[in-house]
Chains A and B, each alone.
Chain A
Amino acid sequence: MTESSTSTRHEGHARHDRHAIALMGNPNTGKSSLFNALTGARQKIANFPGVTVEAKIGTTRFENSELTIIDLPGTYSLAARSPDERVATDALLGRIEGTPKPDGVVIVLDASSLDRNLYIGTQVLEFGLPAVVALTMLDVAESRGIKIDTDKLARTLGVPVVVVNAPKGVGIDELKSTLHRTLHHPGKRLELSYPDDFKRGVDTLHAELCDLGVKLGFTPTRPEALRLLVDGAGPFFDECEEVGGEEWTRKFFEIRDRAAAGRSLSMLEAQTRYGAIGQWMREVKQAEAREGRTRTDVVDGILTHKLWGSLVFIVVMGLIFQSIYSWSGPLMDAIDGGFGALGDWVGGMMGEGALKSLVVDGVIAGVGGVLIFLPQILILFLFIAILEDLGYMSRAAFLMDRLMSRFGLSGKAFIPLLSSFACNIPGIMGARVIEDRNTRLTTIFLAPFMSCSARLPVYTLFIAAFVPQIKLLGFLELQGVVLFAMYWVGVLFAIPTALVLKKGILKSKVTPFLLELPSYKMPRPRAVGRVLWERGGSFVRRAGTIILAVSVLVWAAGYFPRSAEIDEKYDTETSTLEKSYVAAVVKFKPDEDSESLLAQFKAIDDAHEKRVSELEGEKEEIKAATAESERQRDSETAELASKQSAAHADYENWKELAEKRADIDNRRAGEHLENSILGRMGHAIEPAVTPLGWDWRIGMAAIASFPAREVIVATLGTIFNLGSGQEAESEPLRKVVQDATRPDGSKLFSLATGLSIMVFFALCAQCAATLAVMRRETNSWKWPLASFAYMTTLAYLAALVTFQVASALGG
């Protein structure tokens, strides 16, 4: 929120050398590239409270004046059915806190479809702000045989018209100087010839609104009265109804009925505007009737073709999914390894204690936990930016709409939801391509149901431990079938959730799916790069802080309170152990740290085991080969030991000691964890999780995995005294999980427990990063909180049913 604090000093006393300019126009008009050409790198994202759209604010200079440019979301009309659509009008009138009040407006018009672009143009011009038209895509228009007389256009509209081509830098300076000149003259209000009774209606309503003004907290303008009269609903209407009460509503509809006189006011507005536009165009525009198909038509013939289009689509989607899912792997491993190494390095320089643990396990691990998501986010947005720039995104939506509309979504929800199978975070961020607010919110809410790759370690561990390795029908691996089923659990629950959301909370009377299919353009690397930079930065800055805070909190819950008693107990055990070895070990002074040395010795032993296990054939030969391998092992061990200036026997003793010491440390960590707040929370929720087949340890691991699901693996490692460095494929962890017992000696885990844990993790919202991104994208805590509550309840109930049914079936 601090970022939106663009100098409120602009407001009120605008000095001559500072002006704010709003940039408005249709989507796909080159508005963003114009904004980038004007402001360069000097831009930031403005936070609009209560809405899910955002605007960018940047600055540019012209001679001695500084221009603050506000890039408002592209829209086809100022009609506001949702708060998101209302933002444009509010921003234009300077009613958004932290965003300067525009002194003028640049209306961006796409010359290749000027008629439709002028629709919102006429709406903006009715506000009477000083305005300049930036005419883009003139080259595209000309290639289609459309000629625009810009002088006539300027005279007709009564505002200057500047031809711009932002990617080529054409017209930028002229636009600035024209703006500068225009700002010093009052704007001319556009007057369209509405029918008289309609005009009277607007005037009457305007007067009524001004009476309400005090209660509303602002003075409504005439164009707003027009909007309200035509729209007859929406956020502004709700606001008026709230402060004006029933009496106001009654009066409003009386005025509206009189103005309408049985006609549709939307029709009246559209016919007046397009009527005027049509007349202007007869003067301004010359269109040669060109037969022949445009390049876009030809490309569309393939890309939206029943067969070829579908094939291309499947390939593109496969590529996106594959790259997020697997290509990000090496980068993520590098980040993971890098932060692990950083933690070891920093930890090595610090003394044992709370501070070291905070820095290494809390902060460094937390920052790593934030950055680990970057590769997936950047890869998805690389694709989205290229496809969006190219014009393919709307074609993909066109192809998938039929399927997605069955679940109350639109075609545009497909890519975000597909990406969510790799990681929910880029999926949620990708939902911003959906213009419609309700569809976007539904998509964001559904994304966490898609089984992301962070759930995979949970599945891997429990499937390997409890699902028998048998084949169904002779060829289907049961383990594979269970894994496949886990991916479907989420989808299965997402479908009814989508339908309930659509019928319930987000009930919008069927959102219209009117989608412009813009002409294809070559993606511009700079624009793509900018999107990556913005998305990555926005994730790290806005979601990263929340994720880091949660990581530190959970670290603290697992660390405190620190019982001196436990430390004392294990210190005593360690020193007793060391004393018993003192004679044997005194000669052995490793010059490397014991862990890596132990690993080297172990590698030699493992190599020997491997050689022996590979032997087959005659007994005599095996004996000889085994003896040979043993000789090799002994000589290698002796060599390594002698490098550490000690005898082999000393090494054996030292190794035994080191292993026992590690065991003590692991038990110490386990007991500390049990004694920590987290451990106590585990005990506290035990009665609630018992029906799921869990005990306090699993309950605690579930809580500890709140920052990220995969943490459950490391937590189980610690609580079962194996140390925290466990991975899902780890053989010792699998064994200890299989063998773990309850206090009464019965087995803790069974197939039923394993399934119940997997189902829980398939459905729960245990991912601080997802929730943080959800809050960032919806601009409200309401959605992440609702998502967490809903998904946790669902996960609990589903795990409960799974366990009870599986147990009853004898799992």
Chain B
Amino acid sequence: MSSQTLDKLPVGASGTVLDVGGEPALQQRLLEMGVLPGIEVKVVRFAPLGDPMEIKVMGYSLSLRKAEAAHVTVERA
């Protein structure tokens, strides 16, 4: 499948991270938390108000805003 940004993945979908961008502090934070190229992520749910979202990465649950997830490009599995 084609590549898309993480915030666009539907609940339950997984994908492999292709690239992580964003301004330096955000990019660094994402990378430190384990969101880096080659890693598999899975969308668990969106918050009741529609934002932020919860993903599974490296075996733990991470919450991030959709605006932040938009800087993560994934290849949908």
Whether the Cβ atoms of A403 and B62 lie closer than 8 Å is no
Inter-chain contact B52/A398, CB cutoff 8 Å:
yes
A405: chain B residues within 8 A (beta carbon): 51, 65
User: Are B33 and A116 neighbours in the complex by a CB distance under 8 Å?
Assistant: yes
**Cα–Cα, bound, A115→B36 (Å):** 13
Interface assignment of A271: CB less than 8 Å from any CB of chain B: yes
Q: Please state if B65 and A274 are interface contacts (CB–CB under 8 Å).
A: no
Complex CA gap A401/B30 in Å reads 18
* A4 part of interface (Cβ distance < 8 Å): no
**Given the complex, which residues of B lie within 8 Å of A310, measured CB to CB?**
48
Q: Residue-by-residue, is A308-320 near B (CB-CB < 8 Å gives 1, otherwise 0)? A: 0110000000000
Number of chain B residues close to chain A: CB under 8 A:
35
- The answer to whether the Cβ of B25 comes within 8 Å of any Cβ in the partner chain is yes
Q: Within the complex, what minimum Cβ distance (angstroms) separates B58 from chain A? A: 5
Contact between chains at B68 and A513 (CB < 8 Å): yes
The interface bits of chain B over 34-45 (1 if a CB of A lies within 8 angstroms of the residue's CB, else 0) are 101101000011
Check A516 against B54 for contact (C-beta < 8 Å). no
CA distance A509 to B52 in the complex (A): 18
Say yes or no: A79 contacts B32, CB within 8 Å: yes
Q: Is A245 an interface residue (CB 8 A)?
A: no
- Chain B stretch 30-77: residues in CB contact (< 8 A) with chain A: 30-34, 36-37, 39, 44-45, 47-52, 54, 58-65, 67-68
A397 surroundings in chain B (CB, below 8 A): 63
Q: Contact between A514 and B29 (Cβ–Cβ < 8 Å)?
A: yes
Q: Which chain B residue shows the least CB distance to A515?
A: B63
Min distance, Cβ A86 to any Cβ of chain B, angstroms:
14
When the two chains form their complex, are residues B36 and A274 in contact, meaning their CB atoms are under 8 A apart? yes
**Which candidate, A173-181, A262-270, A339-347, A541-549, is the interface stretch facing chain B?**
A262-270
**Does A497 sit at the interface, judged by CB under 8 A?**
no
- Shortest A602–chain B CB gap in Å is 58
Query: Across the interface, do A399 and B32 meet the contact criterion of CB distance under 8 Å?
Result: no
* Contact call B36/A267, Cβ cutoff below 8 A: yes
* A194 close to chain B: CB less than 8 A: no
Given A113-B58, A515-B63: A399 in contact with B49 (beta carbons within 8 A):
yes
Whether A517 pairs with B61 at a CB distance below 8 angstroms is yes
A398 near B34 with CB under 8 A, answer no
Would B65 and A401 count as touching, CB distance under 8 A?
yes
Pair A116/B34 contact, Cβ less than 8 Å: yes
Which B residues touch A587, using CB under 8 A? Answer: none
| CB atoms of A512 and B25 under 8 A apart | yes
A264-B27 contact in complex given A271-B37, A274-B36, C-beta closer than 8 Å? yes
In the complex, A146→B60 CA distance in Å?
13
Q: Which of B39, B47, B60, B67 sits near A398, CB closer than 8 Å?
A: B47
- Chain A residue at smallest Cβ distance from B56: A297
Q: In the assembled complex, how far is the CB of residue A122 from the closest CB belonging to chain B, in whole angstroms?
A: 11
Question: Is there contact, CB below 8 Å, between A115 and B25?
Answer: no
Given that A115-B58, A266-B28, A512-B29 are known contacts, is A306 also in contact with B65, CB under 8 Å in the complex?
no
A705 at the interface (CB under 8 A from B): no
Q: Tell me the smallest distance from the CB of B18 to a CB of chain A, in Å.
A: 12
CB neighbours (8 Å) of A514 from chain B are 29-30, 33, 62-64, 68
- In the complex, what's the smallest C-beta–C-beta distance from B8 to chain A, in angstroms? 18
Which residues of chain A have C-beta atoms less than 8 A from B27's C-beta?
264, 266-267
Interface flags for A247-272 (1: CB within 8 Å of B; 0: not) read 00000000000000000101101110
Whether the pair A517, B54 counts as a contact (CB closer than 8 A) is: yes
Question: Are A232 and B24 in contact, CB atoms less than 8 angstroms apart?
Answer: yes
Task: Using A399-B47, A399-B48, A512-B68 as known contacts, say yes or no to A112 and B20 having CB atoms under 8 A apart.
Answer: no
A383 is an interface residue with CB less than 8 A from chain B: no
A505 lies within 8 A of chain B by Cβ: no
CA distance A508 to B27 in the complex (A): 15
A113 and B60 contact, CB distance less than 8 A: yes
In-complex Cβ contact of A402 among B28, B32, B44, B52 (8 A): B52
C-alpha spacing A79/B45, complex, angstroms:
29
Assess whether A39 is interfacial by the CB under 8 Å rule: no
In the complex, what distance in Å separates the CA atom of A698 from the CA atom of B14? 65
Taking a contact as CB atoms under 8 Å apart, the answer to whether B49 and A233 are in contact is no
Q: A116, B60: Cβ atoms under 8 Å?
A: yes
Min C-beta distance of A286 to chain B, whole Å = 13
Number of interface residues of A (CB under 8 A): 50
- For the complex, is A394 an interface residue (Cβ under 8 Å from B)? yes
Complex: A230 Cα to B50 Cα, angstroms: 34
Which of A274, A510, A515, A517 is in CB contact (< 8 Å) with B34?
A274
Cβ < 8 Å to B, chain A residues 220-247: 230-233
Cα–Cα, bound, A79→B62 (Å): 19
Q: Is B26 interfacial (CB-CB < 8 Å)?
A: yes
A76 is an interface residue with CB less than 8 A from chain B: yes
In the bound complex, what is the Cα–Cα distance between A144 and B68 (angstroms)? 29
Q: Are B24 and A79 in contact (CB under 8 A)?
A: no
**Neighbour of B59 across the interface among A79, A115, A230, A267, CB < 8 A:** A115
Residue A653 is within 8 A (CB to CB) of chain B in the complex: no
User: Shortest distance in angstroms between B67's beta carbon and chain A's nearest beta carbon?
Assistant: 8
Closest to A401 in B: B52
| B26 and A510 contacting across the interface, CB-CB below 8 Å | yes
* Distance to closest chain B CB from A627 (angstroms): 69
A793 at the interface (CB under 8 A from B): no
What CA separation (Å) do A274 and B20 show in the bound complex? 15
CA distance A508 to B25 in the complex (A): 10
Name B63's closest neighbour in chain A (CB-CB).
A515
**Is the pair A516, B60 in contact by a Cβ cutoff of 8 Å?**
yes
Residues of B within 8 A of A230 (CB): 28
CA distance A399 to B50 in the complex (A): 9
Q: Chain B contacts of A309 at CB under 8 A? A: 48
Contact in complex: A513, B59 (CB < 8 Å)? no
Which of chain B's residues has its CB closest to A113's CB? B60
Most buried by A among B26, B44, B61: B61
Q: Chain B: which residue is nearest A268 at the CB level? A: B31
Q: Within 8 Å of chain B (Cβ to Cβ): is A796?
A: no
Q: How far is the CA of A518 from the CA of B59 in the complex (A)?
A: 11
- In the assembled complex, the Cα of A512 lies from the Cα of B64 at a distance in Å of 8
- Specify which chain B residues have a CB less than 8 angstroms from the CB of A81 in the assembled complex: 25
- Out of B39, B50, B62, name the residue touching A516 (CB < 8 Å): B62
In the complex, chain A residues whose CB is within 8 Å of the CB of B36: 267, 270-271, 274
A119 within 8 A of B: yes
B49 touching A402, Cβ below 8 Å: yes
Known contacts A232-B24, A514-B64, A515-B62; is-contact A401 B47 (Cβ 8 Å): yes
Could you say which of B37, B44, B63 has the most chain A C-beta atoms within 10 Å of its C-beta?
B63
Task: Please give 10 more A-B residue pairs, beta carbons under 8 A apart, in addition to A116-B34, A401-B51, A510-B23.
Answer: A113-B58, A271-B36, A300-B44, A300-B54, A398-B52, A399-B47, A401-B52, A401-B63, A512-B25, A515-B62
Interface of A with B (CB < 8 Å)? 76-77, 79, 81, 112-113, 115-116, 119, 144, 146, 230-233, 264, 266-267, 269-271, 274, 287, 296, 300, 304-307, 309-310, 394, 397-399, 401-403, 405, 411, 508-510, 512-518
11 contacts between A and B (CB under 8 A): A79-B32, A144-B59, A304-B54, A398-B63, A403-B49, A509-B25, A512-B64, A513-B64, A514-B62, A515-B62, A516-B61
The 9 closest A-B pairs by CB, nearest first: A270-B31, A402-B49, A517-B61, A266-B28, A113-B60, A77-B32, A515-B63, A306-B48, A512-B29
Q: Which B positions have Cβ atoms within 8 angstroms of A?
A: 20, 23-34, 36-37, 39, 44-45, 47-52, 54, 58-65, 67-68
